[in-house]
Structure 1
Amino acid sequence: MPLDLPFGFILILRMAVTAVFVLAATVTAERAGPLVGGLVATLPLGGGPVYVFLAMDHDADFIAASAITSLAVNAVNVSFALIYALLAQTRSLAISLSLALVAWFAFALAIYTVPWTLTTAIILNVVVLAVCITLARPLRNVKIPLLYRRWYDLVLRASLVAALVGITVTLSFHIGPSGSGIIAIFPIILISVILILHPRVGGKPTAAVMANAVLGLVGFAFACITLHLTAVPLGSAIGLSLALCASVAWSLLVLLARRHGIPV
């Protein structure tokens, strides 16, 4: 699709709508502690709207194929969250986030070179999640002090998410479903939470949010699987709706389990 004037207006509108949606969700999460913060941050707040807009421009086969790559990259996001959480115990924001991002790009590049299937992507997630959830468990329970939000916090978050939407939708016509599946779930929400929280509350409380995000990303894996299986037979709109339900259902199950003292 050429970048003509109408497309530019539509793209800006898409970016703005997504940014507003993400802001509303993450502001709520920040006030609810590391568990809820981590779970909400891993809902499809960034990738979900991107997929909605991709579905407006591409057919269901494209969406289903992208979901497979996104499922594989979900394991990369899990690794990113854990690496940051471990480093942030003793390291600065710059070091912790930089090294986590270096790892993300290295792993994502490796993901891009592999022709993933649903089976292999599921196996990858099971292995990575099993290891990372175990390592993240001791880091989860740290109290986050009450924050007083500055106006530029919101601007930063909105800008990061809007940029992700703009880049993905524009590049999707050139990079195909695999590339779109990777860019669509670049951990922009996790990064924005880190950039906001770490300088204000310190590494350990921010790491607690990321440690809980590791658990929350199980729900995102379910969302990707659901989208892949339902997009073609039921249509992209229904597939995306069911994928959102799968992610939300997992988060609610985790909250219910914690409330009743069930270890997860």
Structure 2
Amino acid sequence: MFLLKLALAPALVVLSSLAGRRWGQQVSGVLVALPIVAGPILLITCLEQGARFGSRAAGAALLGLVTLAVFALMFAWLAQFFGWVPTLLISWTGCVLLDLVLSAVPVDPRLGLPVVLVVAWFAARLLPAPPPDDGGPVRWSWWDLPARAAATAALVVIVTGAATTLGPGMTGVLAPFPIATSVVAAFALARLGPAGAVRVLHGIPRGLLGFAVFCFLVAVLVIPFGTGFAFVIAVAATLATQAAWHAVTARRAAIRRRAPHRSGIIRP
């Protein structure tokens, strides 16, 4: 179990970082907004604490996604004025305070799901406009990926180790705590500046749709059907949801690009 804590989430963060280098920082933001850290945390919680505890934690995790959206907004705007250390510390402080409030609010997953979707919609519109990617090469230090993996592993061990003391409500709210997002956004800010951080964080609201579906399905399926079945279905539904959403947004973007030509408008 300890090896699972040390290996699974850090490996997923490293893969997300590599995807960002290959296809752009916003892709990395979408991937880290998926349950690549919260998923392992909730899985470990179910295995260690039982299905009933895990179900309550997954339901509470839906409210934790509200905190994740708020983190993206705080970090993106603070990054315009501060370096990565104060930006991260202030954003974390705001997240912890909000988590403390949300952990005391019992919410049925059937209500939590639409709440997350509404918050994600607003967050996408309140983020700073993403600057264009200059496409220039970035030199990454050899220690960059190992440092991201180590930071992720440390945070996962802390959250899961404190689960018994925290209880299912606080454990669930902290499960989506911006661990992977913090690591990727902080490294982007340090290496690429505010523009790179904003490009990463614009992927967060897009990833919250699949994340919310994952938490909802784990919350409602883990007790009647067991941990294995619930997580397999939740992961499959998350991937299907994100793929469908990507297809819809790509089609809309293509229609917008073709619209001026259909109307006879010639772009300068």
TM-score in same-fold range (> 0.5): yes
Distance 1:181 1:210 in 2: 22
Distance 1:168 1:258 in 2: 34
1:139: which partner in 2?
A: 129
- Structure 1 residues 208 and 237: CA distance shift in structure 2, 3 A: same
CA displacement at 1:13 relative to structure 2: 5.1
Deviations 1:101-149 (A, max 9, x none): 222111111111222222442353244223212223x624531643332
Q: Scaled by the length of structure 2, what TM-score is found?
A: 0.85
Name the % identity.
25
1:71: which partner in 2?
A: 62
Among 196, 199, 210, which residue is 2:187 paired with? 196
Q: Would you say the 8 A contact 1:85–1:139 is kept in 2?
A: no
Question: Would you identify which runs of 4 or more consecutive aligned residues in structure 1 move more than 4 Å?
Answer: none
1:206: which partner in 2?
A: 197
User: How many residues of Structure 1 are paired with residues of Structure 2 in the alignment?
Assistant: 253
Distance 1:189 1:104 in 2: 14
Distance 1:216 1:121 in 2: 16
Q: Does 1:62 align with 2:62?
A: no
Structure 2: gaps of 5 or more residues: 256-268
- Structure 1 residues 192 and 85: CA distance shift in structure 2, 3 A: same
CA displacement at 1:81 relative to structure 2: 0.6
2:17 alignment partner AA: T
- Structure 1 residues 47 and 146: CA distance shift in structure 2, 3 A: farther
RMSD, matched Cα: 2.2
1:159: which partner in 2?
A: 150
Distance 2:129 2:45 in 1: 36
2:18: which partner in 1?
A: 27
Distance 1:106 1:18 in 2: 24
Structure 1: gaps of 5 or more residues: 1-9
Tell me the SS of whatever aligns to 1:113.
coil
Tell me the SS of whatever aligns to 1:115.
coil
2:221: which partner in 1?
A: 230
1:98: which partner in 2?
A: 89
Q: Would you say the 8 A contact 1:25–1:40 is kept in 2?
A: yes
Deviations 1:24-45 (A, max 9, x none): 3332233211332221111211
2:28: which partner in 1?
A: 37
Distance 1:222 1:192 in 2: 24
Distance 1:231 1:58 in 2: 12
1:27 alignment partner AA: L
Distance 2:8 2:215 in 1: 22
Deviations 1:218-264 (A, max 9, x none): 2211111111121112211111122222322232223323432349x
1:215 alignment partner AA: R
Q: Does 1:253 align with 2:244?
A: yes
Tell me the SS of whatever aligns to 2:162.
helix
